[in-house]
Amino acid sequence: MKRSKITTWLFWLIPLVFLAVFFYQPLLNIFRLVFSDRFNQGWQFFSLETLLRPLLFTLWQAFLSTVLTLVIGLPAAYLFAKFDFPGRKGLRALSLLPFILPTVVVATAFNTLLGPRGWLNLILMDLFNLSNPPLSLLNSLPGILLAHVFYNTSIVIRLVENSLTRLNPHFEEAARALGANPWRVFREVSLPLLMPSILSATLLVFLFDFTSFGVVLMLGGPQYATLEVEIYNQAMNRFNLPMASLLSIIQLAVTLLITSLQNRISTPRYGKAALSAESKTRVKAKTRLEKLYVAVSVILLLILFVAPILSLVSRSLITMEAERGERGEIETGFTLRYYTELFQNRSGSVFYANPLAAIRNSLVFSLLTMLIASALGLLSAYALAGSGRLTRFLEPLFMLPLGASAVILGLGFLISFNRAVWVGGHFPILIPIAHSLIALPFVVRTILPAIRSIPASLREAAQSMGANPWRVFREVDLPILLRAIIVSLAFSFTISLGEFGASSFLSSAQTPTIPTLIFRYISLPGALNYGQALAMSTLLLITSTAGSLLIEKIRFPGEELF
Amino acid sequence: MSKKTILILFTLFFILAACQPTAAPASPQTLTVITHDSFSVSKELVTQFEEANNAKLVFIQGGDTGSVLNRLILTSVNNDLPEADVFYGLDNTFLSRALEHDLFEPYQAEALAKIPTEFQLDPSSKVLPVDYGDVCINYDKAYFKENNLSLPTSLQDLTRPEYKGLLVVENPATSSPGLAFMFATIAEFGEEGWLSWWQAMRENQVTVVSDWETAYYTNFSGSSGKGPQSMVVSYASSPAAELIYAQTELSESPTASLVAPGMCWRQIEFVGILKNSPHRELAEKFVDFLFSKDFQEDVPMQMFVFPVLPEAVLPEDFVIASQIPEVTGSLDPALIAQNRDQWINDWTETVIN
């Protein structure tokens, strides 16, 4: 008994030390510096309005985005949990794609689809003989909302589908046998059982929308600023650091509030019996209504997930020089030029990077992130699995990195680790560390419920038969956790692959990652550069898809045991 | 001899070897150069410099000029050592802020004698001019031709009804060309008149976006984005880039710049050696290298800006498509430092809210 307590403390200690050194320390350092007398001249521009306006807008757009995401995500989760249909697996994998795409790519993809000269407007102009693009979704609130739905629907699908499939069928059967009609079964049995996961997904989506940065900056235009955008603006453009820090503290406080709420909600209230570890088998749609439901949902999801991606890929392969007087002479059609051009250093620049080199850099960072985040996440999840008061107090500390402003944390990193001996000047070890901070909350969130679902009786049985703790872990816990571990490996891998902010902040220009290279191309004028940015985005898409598929294919020995 | 003694001897040998002050071929010294995202230089020149000086050059790109500057100010506060040895790319709009925070050590480079005095804005030589470029309005040639529209010849012209809804600008709060263009309007209309020009532009449906990328690739009809606006705030050298980075060979650029007096803002970029740099001598050599004819001639094709060295020869494509405005607006750097935030606030009130 005593030994297990010591192990628990160790489990706590390692992730806590990591967070203390790489999260809380830089954050405190920057706050301490910024609120010192040196920087107080920023206060002359302080007004309640500069605080309230971004806060209210952030809450408002997060609320709208979350509602919309649920409207699409919940029926989709039901679809994946209940029905078997051709292409189910593929569509489900596809739904994860948006999550891993960097905002630069998503903004570009939306532009190629919905922009003034995007496919949709071109088609509409052609159909109705219009001379001007009829839709203007970019630089508007609907643009922001759409991008948020695109990004976050997969979270609702994953979380709710999971508990839908694990809903113990006996509960519903019992209710039905007692004479309840389907609506009543749903309202009084299924819904309460599903509520924790729905609320948990809701809060997580809300949190993401709340801290959204790139989407709002790139698709929202200058009229809209969320807290995170305003923090960036105040810190980097106005150099009003006290104001930026104050805003980021507000953002942290709201995050803390949301994660504590989430923590309270996701504790199961109905005992373990309600959720079975076994997955229910899915059925083919039988009635006409069911068939209609499947068909409509699949088509909607295809439009949501596939259209922007397809539009991006197609624009990287097609030159477009249309209906513009003098430029009619230029050929329109299929081209691989943007891809072949990626391999040429036309200007002989020292910063030129072969796309393969960028892919290699990205892969190295991602693999390191995957290892660090998953190892720490597993330890943290075990530490948090206990139900003491301490746990309830500490869990939000692990979730807080979700709400940290990237700019403020980045500046904190710079003043804390500037030329630190152990990082060897600008050796980019800080990149996977920063990525791990971002990925850690996801990993914990994924593994924790799985650990909590392990019946204590199984472990006790193994122990009583003489298994040592390591063997109990290997033969009881691991097989149950495997699914969650693999998911979190894939999560941390792809989060790191698509991350742009920290990578550009912390790396030297000669070790670009895929996202930083995309950004380099898109910030230069010229058709070729734009095409190369699209081509590089497509390569990122392929790399991350291949990576996550590969990880999902991993089978550990012993998995068949369960 | 026992194994142990051999081991001890070996250890002693290595310790002595390590203490030796001049190990045969000295390992190269690393010079860290911090700069903005648009910086670039030929690999060939970098290698030449590295070989000639037994040095290794490391470049950090920290966002736009303002971001890099803010980052340097912040990291200079509690650190004895600067984050980098040299900062390339400080511009005239941020000059005062940088000098105020005392980030640089003066360096009286010999080459300064050859540089025109109009570029030398810092008499203390803490920062030295290296290149310049002009922020101007680019227009889509085809659109103006097709619609038989004459080109605006002053900023005032842009408020006329025939140009309604044709201009896209960047938000000066979030974009450096946007900020530069705002300065151009203040220089042109004065502190009293510039806001009423923007008010008139707002009524003439000027489009505002957050960043250059969106303005140029999403909104501007002359680029590959093919958007709805036929004029965009960009650089006088962007038409040259359109020509050089065209996907099929073009005989002329699809875009050009409006360079009439008062329509452009000149950005002069500076380089400075950061205070307490541990590699002062090498940093000086690097600055000298920046003034060499080789580097100055490399600048146009790498960064699409102009060299400050008069004897540098410009590449042909660049000359064909870039226009250099004869008269550009200018404001006192001290005035900019004093009013920047207030101007941005006023601009936001007038144009967005």
The interface predicted TM-score of the complex, written ipTM, equals 0.76
Encoded tokens for A32: 């301490």
Neighbours of B262 (CB within 10 A): 18
- The pair phi, psi for residue A316, each rounded to 5°, is -80, -10
Q: What's the CA gap between B154 and B172, in Å, rounded? A: 20
Q: What's the CA gap between A224 and A239, in Å, rounded? A: 20
Q: B37 touching A, CB under 8 A?
A: yes
- CB-count burial class (<10 Å; 0-12, 13-18, 19+) for A230: buried
- With beta carbons under 8 A apart, name residues in chain A contacting B173: 222, 233, 237-238
Nearest Cβ partner of A115 from B38, B218, B254?
A: B218
- With beta carbons under 8 A apart, name residues in chain B contacting A236: 63-64, 66-67, 70
Kindly identify which residue of chain A lies nearest to residue B69, measuring between CA atoms. A236
Kindly identify which residue of chain A lies nearest to residue B61, measuring between CA atoms. A509
At residue A275, the 3 state secondary structure works out as strand
- With beta carbons under 8 A apart, name residues in chain B contacting A221: 208-210, 214
- Tell me the nearest-neighbour CA distance from B21 into chain A, angstroms: 21
B287: amino acid identity, one letter? V
Which of A530, A507, A343, A405 minimizes the C-alpha distance to B37? A507
Q: A351 touching B, CB under 8 A?
A: yes
| A530/B217 touch (CB, cutoff 8 Å), yes or no | yes
Residue spans of the domains in chain A: they are: 45-230+268-315
Beta A318-319 vs A283-284: how paired, if at all? unpaired
Which of A61, A133, A214 minimizes the C-alpha distance to B214? A214
Nearest Cβ partner of A116 from B97, B228, B304?
A: B228
Whether pLDDT at B235 is above 80: yes
Greatest Cα pair distance in chain B: 98
Q: What's the CA gap between B79 and B77, in Å, rounded? A: 6
Domains B25-133+267-321 and B134-266+324-351 share a fold: yes
Whether pLDDT at B1 is above 60: no
Q: Residues A45-230+268-315: name the CATH superfamily.
A: MetI-like (1.10.3720.10)
Q: B242 touching A, CB under 8 A?
A: yes
A199-208, B11-20, B279-288 — which is least confidently predicted? B11-20
Q: B97 touching A, CB under 8 A?
A: yes
Find out whether A513 and A449 touch, Cβ atoms under 8 Å. no
Residues forming a β-bridge with B233? B137
Residues forming a β-bridge with B221? none
Q: What are the tens digits of pLDDT across the range B16-74? A: 444 444 444 568 888 999 998 888 899 999 999 999 999 999 888 887 888 889 888 88
Nearest Cβ partner of B227 from A117, A415, A505?
A: A117
Q: A503 touching B, CB under 8 A?
A: no
Using CA atoms, how far residue B313 sits from A39, B266, B293, in Å, is 45, 20, 9
Highest mean pLDDT among A227-241, A454-468, B261-275, B309-323: B261-275
Encoded tokens for B38: 């648009």
At residue A551, the 3 state secondary structure works out as helix
Residues forming a β-bridge with A108? none
Per-residue confidence band for B86, with pLDDT thresholds at 50, 70 and 90: very high
Q: What's the CA gap between A125 and A323, in Å, rounded? A: 12
Residues forming a β-bridge with A204? none
Q: B345 touching A, CB under 8 A?
A: yes
Q: What's the CA gap between A412 and A430, in Å, rounded? A: 12
Kindly identify which residue of chain B lies nearest to residue A346, measuring between CA atoms. B245
A478-498 vs A527-553: helix axis angle to the nearest 10?
Answer: 170
- Tell me the nearest-neighbour CA distance from A243 into chain B, angstroms: 13
Q: Which residues, at least 6 apart from B15, have a Cβ–Cβ distance to it below 8 Å?
A: none
| B79/A335 touch (CB, cutoff 8 Å), yes or no | no
pTM: predicted TM-score of the whole model, two decimal places:
0.81
Kindly identify which residue of chain B lies nearest to residue A229, measuring between CA atoms. B174
Q: Which residues, at least 6 apart from A381, have a Cβ–Cβ distance to it below 8 Å?
A: A443, A444, A447, A448, A451
What's the number of CA atoms in the CB half-sphere (13 Å) around residue B72? 38
Q: A336 touching B, CB under 8 A?
A: no
- CB-count burial class (<10 Å; 0-12, 13-18, 19+) for A530: buried
118-177 of A, contacting B, C-beta below 8 A = 132-133, 138-139
pLDDT at position A427, please?
54
| A530/B60 touch (CB, cutoff 8 Å), yes or no | no
A514-522 vs A355-385: helix axis angle to the nearest 10?
Answer: 130
A27-31, A529-533, B7-11, B93-97 — which is least confidently predicted? B7-11
Find out whether A444 and A399 touch, Cβ atoms under 8 Å. yes
Q: A218 touching B, CB under 8 A?
A: yes
- Tell me the nearest-neighbour CA distance from B217 into chain A, angstroms: 8
Residue spans of the domains in chain B: they are: 25-133+267-321, 134-266+324-351
Residue numbers of chain A with a pLDDT score lower than 70 = 1-5, 40-45, 100, 266-281, 320-332, 387-388, 418-427, 508, 552-562
A293: amino acid identity, one letter? Y
Sign of the CA dihedral A462, A466, A472, A475? Answer: negative
Q: Which residues, at least 6 apart from A62, have a Cβ–Cβ distance to it below 8 Å?
A: A206, A209, A210, A212
At residue B144, the 3 state secondary structure works out as helix
| B60/A330 touch (CB, cutoff 8 Å), yes or no | no
Q: What's the CA gap between B89 and B65, in Å, rounded? A: 7
Kindly identify which residue of chain B lies nearest to residue A217, measuring between CA atoms. B210
pLDDT at position B93, please?
86
- With beta carbons under 8 A apart, name residues in chain A contacting B38: 523
What's the number of CA atoms in the CB half-sphere (13 Å) around residue A12? 15
Query: How many CB pairs lie under 8 A apart between chains A and B?
Result: 190
Q: What's the CA gap between A48 and A3, in Å, rounded? A: 54
Find out whether A328 and A133 touch, Cβ atoms under 8 Å. no
199-228 of B, contacting A, C-beta below 8 A = 208-214, 216-219, 223-228
Class of domain B134-266+324-351: alpha beta
Question: Which candidate in A216, A524, A537 is best for mutational testing of the B interface (most B CBs within 10 A)?
Answer: A524
265-294 of B, contacting A, C-beta below 8 A = none
- With beta carbons under 8 A apart, name residues in chain A contacting B245: 524-529
Q: What's the CA gap between B55 and A44, in Å, rounded? A: 46
Q: Residues B25-133+267-321: name the CATH superfamily.
A: Periplasmic binding protein-like II (3.40.190.10)
Q: A401 touching B, CB under 8 A?
A: no
Question: Which candidate in B30, B67, B217, B340 is best for mutational testing of the A interface (most A CBs within 10 A)?
Answer: B217
Find how far residue A157's CA is from the centre of its chain: 13
Kindly identify which residue of chain A lies nearest to residue B31, measuring between CA atoms. A425
Strands (E), A316-404: 318-319, 333-334
Taking all residues of chain B, what is their mean pLDDT, rounded to a whole number? 87
Nearest Cβ partner of B59 from A326, A352, A510?
A: A510
Find how far residue A389's CA is from the centre of its chain: 29
A4: amino acid identity, one letter? S
Counts for chain A of helices (H) and strands (E), in that order: 27, 4
Q: B338 touching A, CB under 8 A?
A: no
